[in-house]
Structure 1
Amino acid sequence: MAAEQITDDNFDEAIAGDTPVVVDFWAEWCGPCKQMAPHLDAVADELSGQIKVAKLNVDDNPMAASKFGVRGLPTLMLFKDGKVASTHLGAMSKQRISDWIKENA
């Protein structure tokens, strides 16, 4: 299951629940964000059922990014029980994304 697009309006609902959720804070103009997107989709497929992956465009949805103090892109946040469990700033390889999730989920 590929990453789902979320918005400020459904953010709280998207991170709620028993399944850990990785939120990718990204922007259309961000080169590293675009470079990392296929890796994130691949990890979402590999870990389907164990985690959810959601993408939030910060230009279209600035409130959630502001609420969680996102200062650079791409920023990945792992939410457990609706709370931030881990944050990573900057692009990562597919293997590193997978390792980061497994270390923190």
Structure 2
Amino acid sequence: MNMLAVNDTTFRSHIKQEGVTMVDFGTHWCPPCKVLKPILDELGSEYGEKLAVLEVNCDESPAVASEYGVMSMPTVIVFHNGVPVDKLIGLRPKSVYESLLTKYV
């Protein structure tokens, strides 16, 4: 499963109301964002139906980025049952994202 690109208009309709959604806030020109994308793609494949992975381009969707206080990229926010429960700012090793997910999946 690849990450699903969402924007200001479609964001809410893709946050799982039951289960876990991981949202990557970044841009196309951000080098750490480019490194993070394959890591999150991998996690999406490994967790399958238990995890939705969304991608928000902050240049194209400033309203949703602002709503969730995204000031630096990449920022990953984990939603559990539709509610934001965790936030990681900056690029981290895959193991950090995995240990974060184990709390909710």
TM-score bracket relative to the smaller structure? over 0.9
Count of residues in Structure 1 that have an aligned counterpart in Structure 2:
105
Q: Shift of residue 101 of structure 1? A: 1.4
Alpha-carbon distance in structure 1 between the residues aligned to 2:100 and 2:16:
20
Whether 1:81 aligns to 2:100 is no
Distance in 1 (CA, whole Å) between partners of 2:17 and 2:104 is 16
1:65 Cα offset (Å): 0.3
2:49 is paired with a residue whose SS is coil
Tell me if 1:53 matches 2:53.
Answer: yes
Structure 2 unpaired stretches of 5+: none
Corresponding residue number in structure 2 for 1:19: 19
Give the 3 Å change call, closer, same or farther, for CA 33–14 of structure 1 in structure 2: same
Unaligned runs of 5+ in 1: none
Query: What letter matches 1:48 in structure 2?
Result: G
Q: Distance in 1 between matches of 2:96 and 2:81?
A: 23
Match of 2:91 in 1: 91
Give TM-score, length-normalised by structure 1.
0.93
User: Given the two structures, how large is their TM-score scaled by the length of structure 2?
Assistant: 0.93
Q: Distance in 2 between matches of 1:87 and 1:104?
A: 13
**1:16 and 1:100 mapped to 2: Cα distance?**
17
- What value does the CA root-mean-square deviation take over the aligned residues? 1.2
2:96 & 2:83 partners in 1: Cα distance?
22
Which runs of 4 or more aligned residues in structure 1 lie more than 2 Å from their structure 2 counterparts after TM superposition? Answer: none
